[in-house]
Structure 1
Amino acid sequence: MLNRSPREPGAAPTTAGRAFARWVSIGLHPFAVFIALTLVSVRVLAPQALGHALIGVSAAVLACWAFVLQRRRAGHWSTVDASKASERPVLYAVLLAILAICWWWMRGQAAPLAQGIVAVAAMLVAAAVLNRWIKLSLHMASLAFAAVSLLALWRVAGIAAICALPLLAWARLRMARHTPAEVIGGTVLGAVFALALRVWAG
């Protein structure tokens, strides 16, 4: 459907729509979402460790981006999103390794964030296991996880994140990165693990 020939007056809106969807996906990329969630979490739970957390999350995101760009430029991935299910296993492995390093880095000064890191890692393990049958949207999972988590930390931000979920879902579908089932599944995955974190953290 997305690859059909442009129709009379529809060609320009189609191009504009895809461009807007791309910017939505960039603005609500998992890296951006988790940076924002980390900053809010540390300000609320461990304000004395803000600098420590900034160093950790910045290094983690830079390492992730370096890996992603290397895979794309080397031709191993069709897109920077690892859009094929066969491209995902190595992505999950690298993300989990980086999260393990983040947990080690945060466990001292920013210890309250350690439980959140474990919850995100568990979410990625679940996504990796399910990848055999369905390529869940990590964009949706990340935003849903952040939305539920933020409701307990900064309600306004949590509500804003919830309101952004339909827009991001549209963007992922518009770019043909996921099917509706993958978008819904990713959303459920993120929300479930965020709720489990809230129960665990008390």
Structure 2
Amino acid sequence: MPGVLLSAGAARFVSIVLHPFVVFAALALVAAWRIDPASLLHTVVGIAAAIAVVSVFIWQRRRSGHWQTVDASRPQERPLLYLLALAVAGGYWLWMGGRGSATSGGVLAAVAMLCAAGLANRWIKLSLHMASLAFAAVSLLVLVPWMGAAAVAMLPVLGAARVRMGRHTRGEVLGGTVLGAVSALLPRLIG
């Protein structure tokens, strides 16, 4: 983050392009392509449905005035988001075949990441943007190393964007990064 200077417009652009929806959708598609190509269409449908459900919820919360921003920027806005994200992730896991899915470990690791972020929310509003990109970066280093390296290179840019936009402090950005990276290692540490 130090040394990365972004205009407000550039920070917003980076935050949109590297939104958790985009990052997790890309990771799911790459994982399906590398691990179980036959599940690619199934993955597309599952990810599209998951993103649609969460997007409608976010739109409704923002439009009704319950949320200040689409990012659920206030800590008190996040518990419902975490609950919905966990329910949707669980539904996606079942859609993909549960334990029988080739990507089951990764989905469960993402669920663990959301649980940890939700529990920590009482004390710190960890950046889910950073957590998702760090999770994807570590996962992609194994699946497609050059993509993982590109994701790692984008971490400081995204961190600077989140701080520049005033959505997170440096500590929240760093905490989200560590949470995402450690969570992505879970399947390798456990299995």
1:56 and 2:46 correspond:
yes
Q: Which residue of 2 aligns with 1:87?
A: 77
1:183 to 156, 169, 173: 173
- Asked if 2 retains the 8 angstrom alpha-carbon contact of 1:53 and 1:110, the reply is no
Matches within 5 A, 1:1-202: 17-107=7-97, 111-201=101-191
Measure, in 2, the Cα distance between the counterparts of 1:131 and 1:166. Answer: 22
Give the total of aligned pairs. Answer: 187
- Asked if 2 retains the 8 angstrom alpha-carbon contact of 1:41 and 1:113, the reply is yes
- Backbone CA RMSD of aligned residues: 1.5
Shift of 1:110: 7.4
- Asked if 2 retains the 8 angstrom alpha-carbon contact of 1:115 and 1:197, the reply is yes
Measure, in 2, the Cα distance between the counterparts of 1:101 and 1:128. Answer: 18
| Higher radius of gyration, 1 or 2 | 1
Alpha-carbon displacement from aligned partner over 1:109-158 (angstroms, at most 9, x marks no partner) = 97011111111011000001100000000000000000000000000000
Measure, in 1, the Cα distance between the counterparts of 2:99 and 2:175. Answer: 35
Query: Does the C-alpha gap of structure 1 residues 52 and 74 become closer, same or farther in structure 2, counting only changes over 3 Å?
Result: same
SS at match of 1:177: coil
Alpha-carbon displacement from aligned partner over 1:158-201 (angstroms, at most 9, x marks no partner) = 00000000000000000000001000000000001111123234
- Asked if 1 retains the 8 angstrom alpha-carbon contact of 2:23 and 2:132, the reply is yes
- Asked if 1 retains the 8 angstrom alpha-carbon contact of 2:98 and 2:104, the reply is no
- Asked if 2 retains the 8 angstrom alpha-carbon contact of 1:39 and 1:54, the reply is yes
Query: Does the C-alpha gap of structure 1 residues 49 and 188 become closer, same or farther in structure 2, counting only changes over 3 Å?
Result: same
* Alignment TM-score, normalising by the size of structure 1: 0.89
Alpha-carbon displacement from aligned partner over 1:7-46 (angstroms, at most 9, x marks no partner) = xxxxxxx9x8101100000000000000100010000111
SS at match of 1:112: coil
- Asked if 1 retains the 8 angstrom alpha-carbon contact of 2:31 and 2:103, the reply is yes
* Alignment TM-score, normalising by the size of structure 2: 0.95
Measure, in 2, the Cα distance between the counterparts of 1:193 and 1:184. Answer: 14
- Asked if 2 retains the 8 angstrom alpha-carbon contact of 1:49 and 1:109, the reply is no
Which stretches of structure 1, 4 residues or longer, exceed 6 Å deviation after superposition? none
Alpha-carbon displacement from aligned partner over 1:29-72 (angstroms, at most 9, x marks no partner) = 00000010001000011101111111001110111111111100
Measure, in 1, the Cα distance between the counterparts of 2:129 and 2:30. Answer: 19
- Long gaps (5+) in structure 1: 1-13
Give aligned-pair identity as a percent. 53
